[in-house]
Structure formats: structure tokens, C-alpha cells
Copies of this chain bind each other. A is one copy, B any other.
């Protein structure tokens, strides 16, 4: 295992410390328990947004803490859910009296621990609503999941719900918009190589030299099938085909097309994927009116990519376009 780390046990703490040092105007970090929070939290009267999950998917979630997006992010150990304690602490830290929305990727550990934290917060008088993201069309259930997994679409939920909270929507409205995004977003991914969790020191799975995994999960969970390596366009046809089977889009529908790198994929490859995905949508008369290309929800150094389609409307477009200022996503400020 070759990594730029000091010790497997210190990866998350040191990375979080570096993150705080690099973005002092944006976030502060609480240690013991560990969470990343906006410098200006809590904001009185504003709905607080908290997300989190295992580390190793950066910039998710810490990179999305800031104006117009998350108020706090709770990083667990690599690929392991944070316990309820730090989630509760983050929830309290961002509560400005208007309640708190939890945005949870659909993994059993995350769902349970955020649920417990929400109950504890409720007992302390903080109203919490939760939205579970489950955008991955690849598999019905998975290694760590009952139901579909939450993957790259989470970024879109965080951005759009964050914009709603920032403009002053109440908890009910912010939760409702987050749910709307969840209902209208779909993702599927592919892995060319596995990744290695520092603690284990071994690749999370194995692929032959000429083999890829279609429908990979962001922890290396099995997808739909292993096939021999194909040209990029054929792979994109599979990914987008699965998405469109699940989410029929009509000609004239407007979409946000996201191509997400898994961490170790050169950017030229992401744009090759984008090109073909945009072509397929154009062939169906579906308009791509917004785009996002880059590493947003990663699996350490895994090579591969995912394609995400969000069915936009005027409301979602306006909230997507609203100003945002985080380490990983920024415009309009």
C-alpha cells in the first residue's frame, strides 16, 4: 500500500486538520467529537443542514460546507459511518432555532446512526428532519444497504437544499425540496480499479487486468456485472441506459448532467464520458441545461466514474444557480 499518510489511524484526523488549516475563512473543525462546521454557524432563524458518512469520498461532505450548502459535515472513519455522538454534536452546533435537516446517504450504518442522533436531538428540543438519498440505480440491495445506495446525486441534494435553506425556507420546505431532488436524480458508476482502505492495506476487491465492474458502489461493493474492458462510449451507453430505463425522460425535458470521477481517473477521461452521455441525451431530445464534471464523490484512489442525471425544472434550476461558497463548489460569491 502506497499512500501519502503518516499512519492509518491518523488519516481522518490529519486530513480534517489540514482541511481546516486550508480553509480558515470558511470552516472550523470540532475535535472530540470530530465535525466540520461553517465559521458562522449557528445562523439564527436558518434551517441547519448536516450531512456526513464514512471518509474516503472527499470532497464529500466537508468540501460542501459553507454558504449556500451544508452547515456541518461529520466524517466517520474511512468507509465507516460516524457514530451518533458527532452527528448529534454537529446538529446542535448548527441549530439556529429553525430546525435541522439531515441529508443521509442510504447505507445501513449511516441511516441508523443519523436516526439515533435525530432522536437524541429531538429529546433536546431540536426539530430534525431526515432525507435519505438513494440515487444509485445499479442494484436493489447491496452489501451495506437495504434499498438503493446513495452516491453522487447527494451533492446535488446538498446544493439545492442548501440554497433553499440559505434563502430562508422553513424546515418543511427545505426537506420537501431535498426529497424532490432525491426523486428526480439517478446515478450509475463503473470501476476500472479497486481502492485500498488504509486500515486494511489491501485492495477492497480485485479485478482482472482487462475487467471492469459495471454498477460499482462507492466502497467497492459489487455492481451489476463484471465485463471485459470496452470502449468508453460503450460503457457510457450501459450506464446511461440503466439510468434512462429507470427514469424515462421525454424530449424537451431539461437536465443537469454530472460526470463524477471516483478519485483516480484522469480528467480527460471524465470529459470523454461527458461527451458521450450528452450525445445520448441529445439523441433523445433531452436538454442538458446544467453540467458538473470532476471529482465530487470519490472512493479514495479508485479509477472509474459515475454518470448522474437530475431532471430539472425552474425551481431546481434557480436553486442550483444560487450562490455557493464551499471548498469544492463555488460560484456567485
Residue of A4, A193, A264 with most chain B CB atoms under a 10 A cut-off: A4
How often does this chain occur in the complex, in copies?
A: 2
Residue of A233, A264, A304 with most chain B CB atoms under a 10 A cut-off: A264
A212 within 8 A of B: yes
Q: Which chain B residue has the least Cβ–Cβ distance from A282?
A: B21
A249 within 8 A of B: no
Chain B residues with CB under 8 A of A19: 271, 274
CB contact under 8 A between A15 and B272, given known A2-B192, A291-B22: yes
Chain B residues with CB under 8 A of A265: 4, 301
Nearest CB of B to A3, in Å: 6
Chain B residues with CB under 8 A of A2: 192-193, 209-210, 212, 229, 303
CB contact under 8 A between A18 and B295, given known A3-B192, A303-B301: no
Chain B residues with CB under 8 A of A229: 2
Nearest CB of B to A183, in Å: 25
A305 within 8 A of B: yes
Q: Is the CB of A22 within 8 A of B266?
A: no
Chain B residues with CB under 8 A of A63: 267
Q: Is the CB of B232 within 8 A of A275?
A: no
Scan A104-133; emit 1 where CB is below 8 A from any B CB, else 0. Answer: 000000000000000000000000000000
Scan A216-241; emit 1 where CB is below 8 A from any B CB, else 0. Answer: 00000000000001011101000000
Chain B residues with CB under 8 A of A264: 263-264, 301, 303
16 new A-B contacts, CB < 8 A, other than A264-B301, A264-B303, A331-B331, are: A2-B209, A3-B266, A5-B268, A6-B233, A7-B231, A18-B276, A19-B271, A21-B291, A22-B291, A58-B267, A195-B266, A263-B266, A266-B301, A301-B303, A331-B333, A332-B333
Ordered nearest first, which 10 A-B pairs have the shortest CB separation?
A: A18-B275, A18-B271, A58-B267, A15-B268, A4-B269, A264-B264, A18-B274, A15-B271, A22-B291, A2-B192
Listed in ascending order, the chain A residues whose CB lies under 8 Å from chain B are 2-7, 11-12, 14-19, 21-23, 55-56, 58-59, 63, 78, 190, 192-193, 195, 209-210, 212, 229, 231-233, 235, 257, 259, 263-276, 278, 288, 291, 293, 295, 298, 300-301, 303-305, 325, 327, 330-333
